[in-house]
Structure 1
Amino acid sequence: MQDFPTAPDNAALFLDFDGTLVEIAERPDAVRVPPDLPPLLERLSRHLDGALAIVSGRPLAELDHFLPGPVAKAGNHGAALRRRPDGAVESPALASPPAAWRARTQALTEAFPSAFIEDKAHGFVLHYRQAPEAGAVFRDLLESLVAEAPEHFALLPARMAWEVTPRGVSKATAVTSLMAHPPFAGRVPVFVGDDVTDEAGMQAAREAGGIGLRLQDAFGTPGDFRAWLAALEARYAQGRAA
């Protein structure tokens, strides 16, 4: 039986969504959320006095749709932050890529009909999961576009996707910002993610004296991780009852 890591009683949990809490889907809107996951996260958040946040590349509106429970959330790689379930959304002023960039990307995808673009508030994602042969072609185009304004934009690699995103925000900035204020301040950050875009959040957690875990190495699958979260919630509940 695999030995899973442990989380301290005073943890602050930072959890990626796609590929970590739920399995990757062919398209972002096709993801399936187990019905017991939102209430599990809500209970965990209560045990941690609110120090649990979903940190995702998805927009907040999508996170709220798939995970409607009252937990803190950071969307668009930290570009939109809600510290508390009933709190205001914090969004720094960020550049948006020129419309011509998206038009050129769209034109290229016409040669690969299975690929598609996912629009974000300050960028876009080019998904090629169903057209893997196009990955390098898409990368070359997007790298050339970002090179036109490297001080404002970056190209993020993801699992079978490339994302054009503004500089200045990341999952690391989300973790750092959340850790600066209650209910996260003073706790031990634990970041769990599965993708290249999560590595900055993992590193930020480690630099703050916490733990950064890659799902595949520490747990295996999203199902294994959900089972670990359920066991963690049971441990916290037992500790409160004692």
Structure 2
Amino acid sequence: MTTPSPAEPDRPDLPLPAPAFPPPDRAAFLLDFDGTLVDIAPTPASVKVEEGLVETLTRIRTLCGGALAIVTGRPIAQIDHFLPHVPTAIAGEHGLTLRRSPDAPTEPMMTTPLPEPWIDRAETLVARFAGCALERKQAGLVLHYRSHPEAGPVFEQEILAWLSGQDRFEIHPSKMAWEIRLAGVHKGKAVEALMQAPPFRGRIPVFVGDDVTDRDGVEAARAMGGQGYLIPDDFPTAHAFRAFLAGYGEQS
């Protein structure tokens, strides 16, 4: 079992070799949200969109002929809230749902309801630790324990007990959180699905994320002849990545 990522330590934006993104007429950007486009916050609702980010993303979307997507663990509606009218496409809940354009219907990639008893158990479990949070999703849930790191092993043990004897749902570690989601759902499949249709088709995928859940997206982008990057392996911090992104295409 993979252990959850610890809280991200304070670290300076140390210089790393800057990647060479494809030119705008060839690139398709598929970007994670939390920990990449915004800094991790104590709760999902308390994240802040950095000043200038919307303008940067809008400019990149225009430069790349619309080939800008957000690939996130959040539901699509939350990205619409934080980045209204910005990305062309959004893959929500790690690819459980997909919206290929702002006016397109949301496609359910996979659907199976979460057993109601698990939701009741999750609510009871989170209530034991003040400040921990339960995040509900269409076909899953996340237990956040950033305010109580000691709750992490307790959450893991309880969830593993719920999942015993079935294979429809899986437990996944995230940054100071444990997530239950449908088996076989991951960001790599979301990247592959997005790249099948315009304005992404025929372009070079560039995926950037920060968490263990983003590794599938990195691998998918690279397998298609594109580029995949992780923070802090390739950019020291999310802020450093956003600063680099802000300068993309200015010399083109």
TM-score above 0.5: yes
- Which residue in 2 is equivalent to 1:145? 162
How far apart, in 2, do the equivalents of 1:166 and 1:105 lie? 16
CA root-mean-square deviation: 1.3
**Inter-CA distance 116–70: structure 2 relative to 1 (3 Å threshold):** closer
Moved more, 141-150 or 16-25: 141-150
CA offset digits 1:4-26 (Å, max 9, x no partner): 11101112111000001110000
Q: Which amino acid aligns with 1:94?
A: T
Percent pairwise identity: 46
**Which residue among 204, 209, 234 is the counterpart of 2:220?**
204
Number of matched residues? 235
- Which residue in 1 is equivalent to 2:76? 60
- Which residue in 2 is equivalent to 1:22? 38
Which of the two has greater helix per residue?
1
How far apart, in 2, do the equivalents of 1:21 and 1:35 lie? 11
Q: Which amino acid aligns with 1:3?
A: P
How far apart, in 2, do the equivalents of 1:86 and 1:139 lie? 39
Q: Does 1:183 align with 2:191?
A: no
Q: Cα distance, 1:93 vs. partner?
A: 4.1
Q: Cα distance, 1:67 vs. partner?
A: 0.7
Q: Does 1:125 align with 2:139?
A: no
Unmatched 5+ residue regions in structure 1? none
CA offset digits 1:140-195 (Å, max 9, x no partner): 11122122322x11111100001111123211111000111111111111110000
- TM-score, structure 1 length as denominator? 0.93
Secondary structure at the counterpart of residue 219 of structure 1: coil
Q: Does 1:8 align with 2:22?
A: yes
* Kept after mapping to 2: 8 A contact 1:40/1:233: no
- Which residue in 2 is equivalent to 1:88? 105
Instruction: Please list, as runs of the form range in 1=range in 2, the aligned pairs for 1:43-58 lying within 5 A after superposition.
Output: 43-58=59-74
Unmatched 5+ residue regions in structure 2? 1-14
How far apart, in 2, do the equivalents of 1:146 and 1:199 lie? 23
**Which residue among 105, 121, 128 is the counterpart of 2:122?**
105
Q: Which amino acid aligns with 2:129?
A: F
* Kept after mapping to 1: 8 A contact 2:16/2:236: no
**Which residue among 91, 102, 118 is the counterpart of 1:74?**
91
